[in-house]
Chain A
Amino acid sequence: MTRARLAVVAGAALAAAAGCGSKSNAPPSVSFRLPSAMAVFHGKTVSNADSIRVYLAVANEGRDDLTLVDATNDVVLPSSVLLRPLAVPFPNRPALLASASLGDGGADVLVGVSAGSSVLQLIQTWVPANTVDADAVTGQAVDLGADVLRIVAMPPDLGEPAKTARLAVVLAGSKLAIVRYRRGGDDVRIEKDTTFGTNGVLVHGLGFEPADLAVVPGDGAHVYAATLDPVGSPAVQGVAEVDVAAPAEPWPVRGLDARAPTRLVAGAVLQERRNDLPVPDDLGAIEPGPGAFTGQPVVKRVYAVLDEASCGVQGRIDCGVVTLDPDKTPGPGDDNIPEDWAGWMPYRAPIAVRGRPLALAVSGPPAVAPTDWTFGTAFMRLVLGTTQTVATTAVGIVASENGTIDFLDLGRFKNASTTFAPVQAFTSAAPPKEGNRIWIEDPATGAGATSTEAAASLIHITPGYALDESWTVSFQPALPGLQNRAAEMGMFVAPDQPWLAIQFGDGTPGDAGRTLSQVARLYHPALGVRVGDIVTFKVDSLKLHGVQCEGLAPPGTPTDLVDSVPHEFETEIAQLLAPDPVLPPSSMSARPGGAVVLKLRTKGPDELEPGAAPGDADPPEWRACWDALLAALSSQGSLKGLQVTVNAGRLLLVGARVGYAGRAELKTEYVLRYKADRADPRDNGLPDYAYQDEDALAALCPLADWDGSLPMPAALDCGGAGCDRDVCERLILARKARRRYHLSEDCHADTTCQAKYAGLTFPIVNDAVLRFTVLHEALTTAPIQGLIRDLTLPISTGSGVVQLAVSAGGPTTQANGAITFDRSTSDPTSGYRFYVSYPGNQIADVSPSLNPVASNTIR
């Protein structure tokens, strides 16, 4: 060995020795492997064998072990070789973890479950080795007889013996178990409480399938389950409250009506903010400090993420995080959602979320207040940005599919917004560049707005209702979802009327019992199809069926492309038809989505060019196609595979998120508002229904709640009359004009803001989502032309809500769990924390109690 090589070897040995002997502060890399579950527990570990401390246990499903992290500082516990993290072996893909305190200051009970297992394995938190007891026969593991799907720790209950802890466990097969543990005779170890149920377990059937499970702090008698199933009697959609304190099977189940099924659930006990308007010396609802909660009762609340398949702008409730009041006994037709604080809607709107939530967690105030926090432990600090801080009573997080973690100010039942001033909602309008345009009218002059800024100021919105939305006001655009669709036609006889249905399938159009696909529910008011709308046919698809005609190029086609683009011809909807009744033995009607009766269309006067001949309104090419179409229907009986688009008859307002948003008219103010007017409608010449909220309208138009399933339930067609289409339209639009955000702000001293919203008293500002007037005008250098199809005015609106959020670094796709942890007892400054786990081998530790928002990624 050369001297040089000897030196290298000696150096390496020295370095190794130094590594072995030193207490390096550099923590080992955590190297999670498919973290699947988390739980915070108090116990002993090899790192602190003599004292009970608090740790975060993380189940590594991909490595069959648990990683332990010091929950006071997020430092992973090292193994004896220091270079690797401590791994507690847990065989067969640990998938679930849960912990619970026995209330005596000793080690907590910590259980884990392998994927697809029915056994609750007990992790020995009271001994430093943290051995996993998987023996359900002679050990302290518990075999529940069916796969464990979810676990939640029950709050202590007054009736429970001291030094015990209970876990609520969802089992495969729609069952729920309560498992009780107790401190052992040596006052150290933990064991199954064999005095409880059968060997420490009670298992009862539920009759529904829980999707998630939660408890409300302080309520040891109830478990709350999110579910897609109807629950309770009478059955409602929402959250199931299971009374696990009841002595006999089955445990009573009460449905908390959330107006839609739910997927995720959490619970809290808190004060909610006041609703009072500001008065001198009392800011009331808009007080950022504890004053907003003065005099408010402490209430139980259950928060649930609504199932996106059922909620939404066309559903009985929009999507988001709904607040439920378990102590509310709803009357007939009512639900368990607290009332709308502003008295406008029949229920409090859910808290809007930006992505599809995958995990939900709620924290109350920390046990120990930060040293610089003057409002005690009844309130918690919520930092909304570098300069804004509020006091609140509970904070929630939603980890979404888009990788972000959004914070919710649950004391104010709203999004935590970094601006703290959503009254800064905004509008804009992009000026179209065509020679002619649809443009915002200035009511003061009757002419078009003179600039984009002026146009934006003439588009009225209301904070709290204003959406982050891209709107279009277009002339005769395709109705959403009804562009280039396959349709079939036939003829009614006596009187002869050509009908058209948008549907696709083998067999003869008009025959019942066919298996159909792509059925447009034309009769559903949410699609917005009206008499007077246009059905445009692609002539090429007619020719395939022997309908020989040429049609015309689409309106607005450049001259040099007229011969090359697919030609069309246009018809007009003369009548809207309900789905045919189902006549047994057939199980499906001929036109299960409804149909329209067509007539040849004549252009309106403002579609014609100035100086056009009278005959131009009725192009001979269209008539030729119409005649050929009728002839084909007469000879063939029916046609199918026709390519059609349903266009609005005139102006149409569409939102990228809300879809169909009603019909505007030139030089007439268009208002999209929850209720037509706050005044007595009769004073304004409006019908009575204009004054009604969505539930009252829904009672008059059950058709609007047709979920699209085929055949349409006969009870929904309102006796064949299809309800009052005007009422249905009003209901559809009211649902799109709901409150989106819960204001707790005003204009402060901002005079521009005050001028912009003159007449409104914040925070209760029940007014329009969107209000504007448009006109058709020529740009200064261009002559006025006929209105051209798809001439469009784009409008953008912003809610002013800038969601307080963090995004952990690294792969934040598909968050798979969120828990809360109060670190204040060891570090008052750190306050309350949220842990969010991701399959991309990392865990985010975040807290909005710090400025800036704390976000630490453990990986």
Chain B
Amino acid sequence: MRRLFCVALLAGAACSEVSRVEPGSTDTFYKPTGIGVYAGKLVVASSNADLLFDSATGGSVITVDPAVPRPDPTKVGLVGGLLIQSFAAQMAIADPNDPRGAEFQCDIPAPIALVPVRGADLLYRITLGPGGVPSCGDGCVIDLSGHAVADPYSVGVACGGGIARLYVGYLRSFAGVATITQIDLLKNGEMKSNVFGIGQMRSFAYDSAHKRLYAAQAGGIHWVDLSEDCDFEAADTSGGCHGGVMAIPSGLEAHAIALSRPRSEVPTPPRRLYVLARVFDAQAAAAVGIRFGDVDGYLLVMDLAEDLAGQAQVHLVKPPIRVGFGPIAMALLPGRAGKRDVVAALTVDDPALLLFDDDNDASVVIGRDIVSTPSHVATGHPWLGTQTFGLAVDPVATGGVARVYVGSFQESYVTPIDVPLDDIEGTAVPPAAGFARIMGGTP
């Protein structure tokens, strides 16, 4: 008992030593976790995950303009910034004029950045003003507590076709159930929650044409049809939404999903679901009842279809593409007419970015600095940072070149990467080309 008391004392002392009362920075990223792109501007949510700054005001959402250089090479033009609670998670952007097309355009008055915050169990609904200036007015902070869940983490946007909804997943919940909270922006923020199996709900994708939401968690890929103005939390017989779950291969656990862009060819090829999955020892997990450790990470390319009974299903159409340890995030690069998508997949444990062209199976990996050249001595350091968190793609490609952003949690920077869409092999990969690293902005 005496020993316990001492430990408690020490812990208290430690906490009081590291706690700060200073608010976070509104121009410099700190432990970024979520990033997004709006109108060419980079929007970054910083988490203050080690509580270097005050817990209540240590996090931030900062918008910078990467096109405006500053003398300090780690800084670009600052557009604006505001403080939020610490422990920000993912970020999503909802834009009434989303350049990707009507399927993505939300019927809302102004663009918003959505940032869930763990611990405090909040969702920030931050308005992006002209040029992307972030602001947090009335209704900006949405309380997500009270749903037998905690630690909101994943966030998705469902827009187009008369729908403007947000979906939030959680890392913790009562009895370990996987809960999704729906926030209907067209119904004054009406909030409804439902449970979809067991585990953490990690990623969302939305098919606007079919009003179908896909959500990834340990048990597989859940799908919910949101048409007929169904009630998200009601039973099937009481006007609820219909759906099901698609199993993914044994030993794989989905961590991120993305839906391919619709194609215009006739007959229309099936849409694809890209799944970023962690590989684990399924036999051991079955034997002991819990899943522990990863042995690899895969990008799965799957065709979506319906079986004869009308239930959604997926078919693997390519051998799994290896991405390495700790798959965490995925995004699609801007579409190309008549071609399949280019996918960006991010891993955190073995930090790397995989670019995969689904049209010709070409791939590029930006991993570690391991090749020495006459002008460069390899250091072994990951090119994109030691803990890569946050992945975003500018929805507009300029001159056939897409811009991808990768955040580094540990080093608090964001790396922009330019990808020639029709020749991803031409992506400037260091050390042949150095990477800029954006750590914040200056006015």
Residues of A within 8 A of B (CB): 34, 36, 61-62, 64, 91-93, 95, 115-116, 118, 146-147, 149, 172-174, 209, 211-212, 228, 263, 307-309, 314, 355-356, 401-403, 480-482, 484-486, 502-506, 515, 517-521, 524, 526-527, 538, 540-541, 544, 566, 593, 640-641, 643, 708-709, 807, 810-814, 816, 838-841
Contacts and interface: CB of A to CB of B under 8 A. Distances in A.
A693 B330 CA distance: 49
B281 A813 contact: yes
Nearest to B212: A517
Contact of A481 (B227, B230, B311, B360): B311
B310 A503 contact: yes
Contacts, number: 184
B290 to A, nearest CB: 15
B305 to A, nearest CB: 7
Given A92-B371, A505-B227, A309 B303 contact: yes
B166 to A, nearest CB: 20
17 contacts: A147-B361, A149-B361, A172-B357, A211-B318, A355-B250, A481-B307, A486-B236, A502-B310, A515-B211, A517-B310, A518-B311, A541-B236, A544-B238, A544-B239, A641-B230, A709-B267, A812-B283
Contacts of A95: 322
A838 B267 CA distance: 39
A541 B310 contact: no
A403 B285 CA distance: 12
Interface stretch (B49-57, B67-75, B362-370, B410-418): B362-370
B322 to A, nearest CB: 7
Contact of B306 (A518, A566, A814): A518
A712 to B, nearest CB: 11
Contacts of B354: 116
Contacts of B251: 401, 403, 813-814
B325 interface: yes
Interface of B: 209-212, 225, 227-228, 230, 236-239, 242, 249-252, 267, 279-284, 295-296, 298, 303, 305-312, 315-320, 322, 324-325, 350, 354, 357, 360-365, 367, 370-371, 425
A519 B310 contact: yes
Contact of A814 (B227, B236, B252): B252
Closest 5 CB pairs of A and B: A481-B309, A813-B251, A309-B315, A839-B296, A811-B281
Given A62-B324, A211-B318, A814-B320, A521 B365 contact: no
A505 B228 contact: yes
A289 to B, nearest CB: 37
B229 to A, nearest CB: 8
Contact of B309 (A228, A482, A540): A482
B237 A526 contact: no
A521 B308 contact: yes
B361 A172 contact: yes
A116 B308 contact: no
Given A173-B361, A506-B211, A708 B308 contact: yes
Contacts of B209: 515
Given A147-B361, A515-B210, A813-B282, A841 B295 contact: yes
Contacts of B242: 485-486, 504, 518
A813 B250 contact: yes
Most chain A CB neighbours (cut-off 10 Å) among B225, B298, B312? B225
Nearest to B368: A64
A838 B279 CA distance: 11
Given A34-B322, A116-B365, 6 more contacts: A147-B425, A403-B251, A505-B228, A540-B237, A813-B281, A839-B296
Contacts of B295: 34, 811, 813-814, 838-841
Nearest to B281: A811
Q: Of residues A209, A709, A840, which shows the largest number of chain B Cβ atoms within 10 Å of its Cβ?
A: A840
A540 B322 contact: no
Given A308-B315, A401-B249, A811-B284, A538 B237 contact: yes
A135 B209 CA distance: 50
A363 B252 CA distance: 30
Nearest to A212: B319
Contact of B210 (A517, A526, A709): A517
Contacts of B211: 505-506, 515, 517
Nearest to A95: B322
A524 B311 CA distance: 15
A415 B322 CA distance: 31
Contact of A813 (B225, B279, B425): B279
Contacts of A482: 309
A425 to B, nearest CB: 27
A540 to B, nearest CB: 4
B44 to A, nearest CB: 28
A146 B424 CA distance: 11
Contacts of A838: 295
A816 B354 CA distance: 19
Contacts of A520: 308-310
B277 to A, nearest CB: 10
A641 B228 contact: yes
A504 B227 contact: yes
Contacts of A174: 360
Contacts of B250: 355, 401-402, 813
A172 B371 contact: no
A540 B238 contact: yes
Given A147-B425, A813-B251, A36 B322 contact: yes
B154 to A, nearest CB: 23
Contacts of A355: 250
B159 to A, nearest CB: 15
Nearest to A503: B310
Contacts of A62: 324-325, 350
Nearest to B378: A91
A118 B425 contact: yes
